[in-house]
């Protein structure tokens, strides 16, 4: 089957020759390839980052957080009211705050989170975390610790960590105030020493959640230990809740605000991470438009190539028009060249982009070990590996946009070529 007249000539003009035009054509294809590759890679990583962050947040954070400025003392009626709200599946009490953790002379200031493990596992996916050592066991005076925090403290399974809390400091300050007011009621050094004795917690599990902020800053302890450390007695810092649909948590929040006391604050998992999600969405859209300029620059290369071809092929164009070639056929010769360049740029760019996404973490590790270049620090991005998620919708938009830009770039030289009159084209022949 013979190719159409316009396509046949377009392929003939694009056939590699040892000319400057062929070099420009190859550069144009490489430009389109590079633009599409970078676009696919960046958009996929940004999409993956957003989705992975949502999964990590939903896995380790509750859908709803109910708290107040002070301490929730009489919290059980409040807890019952929350659980009876339509759309709420389960609730769990918690205590959370900073402490001083000490092990063999090393001191850090992580946060402790006191939980009731039986109720917590109904609200979050704490048991599904990756357990480097031990498991989710909070029996007795024990604690679970993130792998990064464990590495910094130098602790392992079975080690005992000394934990000093703000509750100790508060008791000492209260006693000193009393001693100043009543000189006859002075505490001995032994009494003060007993007040600041730390809690000794045995490490029963080292977890890796995949989110750096949890793995490097949190110690999970039994609820009663958290209450003792902060001197809350039976009080709490808040209650977490799981809903039937995390993306409808805002609707349940509004219902809770109407039935709970005004001093109670309700936050959804989106509220707690809103700035982060907005920043990722803004960066993703900005990067798409900025990187699209790479394709536009490549399109100018295509335009330059076709203008050069038009000048070189003036005589041939004149002959074709003299023999009866229509304006549309001449336009399609040059338009087809731009479309062919766009097509091959799309194919090679798509292949290279998908390959880089597949081997992104291996490439990151190679850069870190060989060239000592850290392109994705977990301390900043909160992930130990580069997340990526390729959506067909995004790929389609990128490839179609690039193809349309390349085709439009060919329209101007195609238009001028079609306007050549046979007499003027052959005047000097």
Residue 266 domain flag: no
The answer to whether residue 387 is domain-embedded is yes
Residue 75 within any structural domain of the chain: no
- Residue 138 included in any domain: yes
Identify the pLDDT of residue 167: 59
Looking at 243, 265, 285, the residue that finishes a domain is 243
Q: How many domains does the chain have?
A: 2
State whether 288 and 178 are in the same domain: no
Length of the chain: 429
pLDDT along the chain (429 residues), means of 10: 56 58 72 86 84 73 87 89 91 91 88 91 84 88 91 92 72 59 55 58 88 85 89 89 88 89 88 78 80 77 69 65 70 77 87 90 84 72 77 89 82 71 56
Distance, CA of 139 to CA of 221 (rounded, Å): 9
Per-residue confidence (pLDDT) for residue 189, from 0 to 100: 47
- Give a yes or no: residue 281 inside a domain: yes
CA distance 315 to 171: 98
Does residue 72 form part of some domain? no
Query: Are the C-beta atoms of residues 36 and 350 closer than 8 Å to each other?
Result: yes
306 and 185 in a single domain? The answer is no
Assigned domain for 376 exists: yes
Give domain status of residue 146, yes or no: yes
Q: How do beta strands 142-146 and 199-208 pair?
A: parallel
Same domain, 29 and 106: no
Domain that holds residue 159: 88-243
- Are 322 and 231 in the same domain? no
* pTM: predicted TM-score of the whole model, two decimal places: 0.62
Instruction: Specify whether 165 is located in the same domain as 293.
Output: no
Residues 239 and 283 in one domain: no
pLDDT at 214: 83
């Amino acid at each position: 089957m013979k190719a159409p007249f316009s396509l046949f000539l377009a392929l003939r003009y694009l056939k590699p020759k040892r000319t400057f035009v062929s070099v420009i054509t190859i550069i144009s294809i490489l430009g389109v390839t590079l633009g599409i590759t970078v676009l696919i890679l960046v958009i996929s990583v940004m999409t993956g980052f957003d989705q992975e962050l949502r999964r990590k947040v939903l896995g380790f954070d509750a859908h709803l957080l109910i708290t107040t400025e002070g301490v929730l003392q009489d919290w059980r009626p409040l807890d019952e009211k929350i659980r009876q709200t339509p759309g709420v599946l389960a609730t769990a009490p918690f205590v959370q705050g900073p402490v001083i953790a000490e092990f063999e002379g090393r001191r850090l200031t992580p946060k402790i989170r006191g939980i009731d493990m039986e109720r917590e596992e109904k609200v979050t996916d704490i048991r599904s975390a990756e357990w480097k050592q031990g498991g989710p066991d909070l029996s007795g005076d024990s604690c679970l610790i993130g792998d990064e925090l464990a590495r910094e403290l130098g602790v392992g399974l079975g080690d005992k960590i000394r934990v000093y809390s703000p509750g100790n400091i508060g008791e000492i300050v209260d006693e000193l105030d009393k001693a100043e007011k009543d000189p006859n009621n002075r505490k001995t050094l032994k009494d003060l020493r007993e007040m600041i004795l730390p809690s000794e917690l045995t490490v029963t599990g080292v977890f890796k959640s995949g989110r750096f902020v949890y793995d490097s800053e949190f110690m999970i302890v039994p609820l009663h230990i958290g209450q003792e450390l902060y001197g809350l007695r039976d009080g709490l810092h808040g209650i977490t809740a799981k809903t039937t649909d995390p993306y409808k948590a805002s609707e349940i929040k509004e219902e809770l605000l109407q039935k709970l006391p005004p001093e109670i604050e309700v936050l959804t998992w989106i509220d707690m991470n809103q700035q982060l999600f907005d920043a990722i969405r803004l960066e993703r859209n900005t990067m798409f438009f900025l990187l699209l300029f790479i394709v536009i620059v490549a399109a100018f290369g295509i335009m330059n190539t076709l203008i050069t071809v038009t000048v070189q092929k003036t005589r041939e164009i004149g002959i074709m028009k003299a023999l009866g070639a229509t304006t549309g056929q001449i336009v399609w010769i040059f338009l087809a060249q731009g479309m062919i360049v766009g097509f091959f740029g799309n194919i090679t760019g798509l292949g290279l982009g998908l390959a880089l996404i597949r081997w992104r973490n291996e490439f990151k590790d190679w850069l870190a070990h060989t060239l000592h270049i850290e392109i994705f620090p977990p301390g900043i991005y909160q992930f130990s590996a580069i997340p990526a998620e390729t959506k067909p919708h995004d790929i389609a938009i990128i490839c179609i946009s690039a193809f349309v830009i390349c085709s439009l770039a060919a329209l101007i030289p195609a238009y001028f070529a079609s306007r050549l009159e046979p007499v003027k084209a052959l005047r000097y022949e």
